């Protein structure tokens, strides 16, 4: 990346003064103990684990091992199922989730529809759910090269999360999130911290055609133009290769939305090259095992007690 990468040090001073913790779960729970995937997509599991109840139990058992009770993510539908781009999940909504037949059969609200592009939760809501259901909910998204972006306002005690892949980066979802924090929670821009997860942030060479998520096509499938500002961040190289300056594009969007550069933190790991992380690109090029990492943010500090015994990264 051309821009300076800040790395937030989640130390005792941070934990004493902040209520929310960003975290990353890579392909290992412990060194040598590989996780098939931090989601429940059947294609990542062996034949004997294809049944949905087995996959869900596997995910939840692994979450418990790292100190997490339950997880919620935005479904990000690209069709008419989308209810809102940005949405605060309220206490009443969580209660409906926990009273649903789906939760009662699966033991998690993970698979209950949340048709939003980005979701938010207050600490007040988190604590009320914890008190009523004895469940601590963390906001998460599984990814393997894409940037999972976590927002946090320590003063308002609000967290938010989205999956800003190539498609949503081209549509500047982080700008929508910044505005939502200001308008919905009355956040001051200087109080908003942003944590960008491990991703293919730089040195990403895309081979073949221009990436579909970055371009507009005509009815015959021919290239017309780039979406958003992708043209500034994709270098066209010889032999039908393209260098994607993914991290720089996302960084520029955060700055333009008003986030203070001192409050933007990038995970130092590039999933393209660090084999502790699942990577779609490595899977396609090298036929490596595929799966999903899990990036999230939580108000539950129990996760801190698991760090020494697991591969949890607090960032």
Give the domain CATH number at 158: 3.60.140.10
Residue 240 lies in a domain: yes
Instruction: Provide the Cα torsion 301, 29, 276, 119; round to 10°.
Output: -50
Same domain membership, residue 165 and residue 86: yes
Same domain membership, residue 140 and residue 236: no
Q: What is the pLDDT of residue 266?
A: 94
pLDDT band at residue 3 using 50, 70 and 90 as cut-offs: low
More confident residue, 208 or 8: 208
Q: What is the pLDDT of residue 147?
A: 97
Report the half-sphere exposure of 262 (CA within 13 A, side-chain side): 3
Same domain membership, residue 301 and residue 224: no
Same domain membership, residue 160 and residue 270: yes
Who contacts 14 (Cβ-Cβ below 8 Å, separation ≥6)? 8
Domain that holds residue 77: 12-201+261-309
Residue 108 lies in a domain: yes
pTM of the model: 0.95
Q: What is the pLDDT of residue 1?
A: 62
Same domain membership, residue 16 and residue 107: yes
Residue 249 lies in a domain: no
Same domain membership, residue 107 and residue 240: no
Q: Give the pLDDT mean for 175-180.
A: 98
Q: What is the pLDDT of residue 95?
A: 98
Same domain membership, residue 237 and residue 94: no
Same domain membership, residue 86 and residue 112: yes
Residue 282 lies in a domain: yes
Same domain membership, residue 183 and residue 121: yes
**pLDDT tens-digit map of 145-158:** 999 999 999 999 99
Same domain membership, residue 231 and residue 161: no
Residue 18 lies in a domain: yes
Q: Give the pLDDT mean for 186-204.
A: 96
- When the pLDDT of each residue in the chain is averaged and rounded to a whole number, the result is 94
- Long-range Cβ contact pairs of 53-60 (< 8 A, separation 24 or more): 53/106, 56/106, 56/107, 56/108, 56/110, 56/111, 57/107, 59/108, 59/110, 60/107, 60/108
Same domain membership, residue 125 and residue 183: yes
- State the total domains in the chain: 2
Query: pLDDT at residue 4 above 80?
Result: no
Same domain membership, residue 75 and residue 154: yes
**pLDDT tens-digit map of 13-54:** 888 899 999 999 999 999 889 999 999 999 999 999 999 999
Residue 269 lies in a domain: yes
Residue 217 lies in a domain: yes
Q: How far is CA 153 from CA 55, 171, 183, 263, in A?
A: 34, 23, 13, 11
Residue 253 lies in a domain: no
């Amino acid at each position: 990346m051309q821009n300076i990468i800040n790395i937030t040090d989640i130390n005792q001073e941070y934990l004493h003064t902040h209520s929310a913790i960003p975290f990353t779960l890579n392909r290992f729970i412990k060194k040598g103990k590989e996780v098939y995937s931090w989601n429940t997509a059947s294609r990542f599991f062996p034949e004997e684990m294809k049944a949905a109840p087995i996959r869900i139990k596997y995910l939840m058992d692994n979450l418990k091992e790292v100190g997490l009770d339950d997880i919620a993510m935005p479904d990000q539908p690209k069709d008419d199922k989308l209810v809102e781009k940005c949405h605060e999940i309220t206490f009443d909504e969580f209660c409906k989730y926990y009273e649903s037949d789906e939760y009662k059969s699966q033991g998690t609200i993970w698979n209950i529809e949340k048709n939003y592009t980005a979701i938010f939760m207050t600490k007040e809501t988190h604590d009320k759910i914890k008190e009523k259901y004895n469940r601590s909910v963390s906001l998460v998204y599984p990814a393997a090269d894409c940037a999972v972006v976590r927002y946090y306002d320590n003063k308002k005690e609000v967290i938010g999360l989205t999956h800003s892949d190539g498609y949503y980066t081209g549509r500047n979802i982080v700008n929508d999130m910044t505005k939502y924090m200001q308008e919905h929670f009355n956040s001051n821009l200087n109080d908003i911290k942003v944590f960008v997860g491990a991703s293919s942030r730089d040195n990403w060479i895309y081979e073949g055609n221009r990436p579909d998520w970055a371009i507009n096509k005509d009815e015959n499938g021919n290239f017309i133009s780039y979406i958003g500002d992708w043209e500034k961040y994709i270098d066209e190289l010889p032999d039908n290769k393209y260098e994607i300056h993914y991290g720089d594009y996302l960084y520029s969007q955060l700055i333009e939305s008003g986030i203070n550069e001192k409050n933007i933190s990038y995970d130092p790991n590039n999933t393209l090259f660090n084999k502790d992380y699942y990577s779609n690109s490595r899977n396609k090029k090298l036929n490596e095992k595929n799966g999903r990492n899990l990036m999230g943010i939580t108000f539950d500090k129990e996760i801190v007690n698991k760090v020494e015994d697991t591969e949890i990264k607090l960032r």
